[in-house]
Amino acid sequence: MILGVFVPSLMGAGILVSGAILLVDVLRRYLPQSGLHRRHRVAMGTYNVVAAAAAWAGREVSAGELLDRAPRSRTTYVAWATACASLAVVIPVAMAAAYRDELGLFYTSPWMVGLGAVWCIVVGLLALLLLTVAALARRPPRPIRWLIATTALGRFQVPDPLPFEGP
């Protein structure tokens, strides 16, 4: 009896996760960030090689803030917060509709209630964080500066490549 509820619910959750992964892949393909990410990886690799050589020679090389992330515009944070807040409303409503649909795969599935609540909380907290970052954009406290510099809240700040001057 319990497998009759558990297995279809688990399969449905897997389908939702697969759809989310496909959506992320499509967004990555069409957003023009691949060149920036590639330049960032090259800059990080170059820094790592130079830092390893300097460490071998008994010296230390500081990356400074060249490879840290820079804050995004306030409008970007507000737009992402609005999208996340909208998702925090839509996801539980859709999950509740799937829970109540007598012909659906998720009819009276406790997974829909749990997943709806968890995703609502996660996306709602992300919206709150994004609004906080947007509100404190002028002078953010140290923890928010750290989040911007080390996570996707900030945008890559990669130095422009120097032109090659061959021999």
Given CA atoms 10, 16, 19, 20 in this order, what sign does their dihedral have?
negative
Cβ 137 vs Cβ 81: under 8 Å: no
CA distances from 133 to 11, 45, 78, 121 (A): 37, 30, 9, 18
Given CA atoms 118, 123, 129, 132 in this order, what sign does their dihedral have?
negative
Least confident of 28-37, 75-84, 130-139, 140-149: 28-37
Given CA atoms 12, 13, 18, 22 in this order, what sign does their dihedral have?
positive
Predicted confidence (pLDDT) per residue in 78-108, tens digit = 999 999 999 999 988 888 888 888 887 778 8
* Confidence (pLDDT) at 131: 94
CA distance 111 to 114: 5
Average pLDDT, the chain: 81
Q: Is the per-residue pLDDT at 161 higher than 70?
A: no
Question: Which DSSP string corresponds to 110-129?
Answer: HHHHHHHHHHHHHHHHHHHH
Q: Is the per-residue pLDDT at 10 higher than 60?
A: yes
Domain ranges of the chain: 22-67, 69-158
The model's confidence at residue 166, banded by pLDDT at 50, 70 and 90, is low
Q: 154 has which bridge partners?
A: 71
Cβ 144 vs Cβ 129: under 8 Å: no
Between residues 98 and 163, the one the model is more confident about: 98
In the chain, the percentage of residues whose pLDDT exceeds 90 is 19
* Confidence (pLDDT) at 65: 60
Average pLDDT over every residue of 64-73: 75
Q: Is the per-residue pLDDT at 5 higher than 80?
A: no
The model's confidence at residue 69, banded by pLDDT at 50, 70 and 90, is confident
Predicted confidence (pLDDT) per residue in 14-52, tens digit = 888 898 899 888 877 776 666 777 777 777 788 888 888
Burial class (CB in 10 A: 0-12, 13-18, 19+), 18: exposed
Q: 156 has which bridge partners?
A: 69
Cβ 111 vs Cβ 12: under 8 Å: yes
Cβ 98 vs Cβ 15: under 8 Å: no
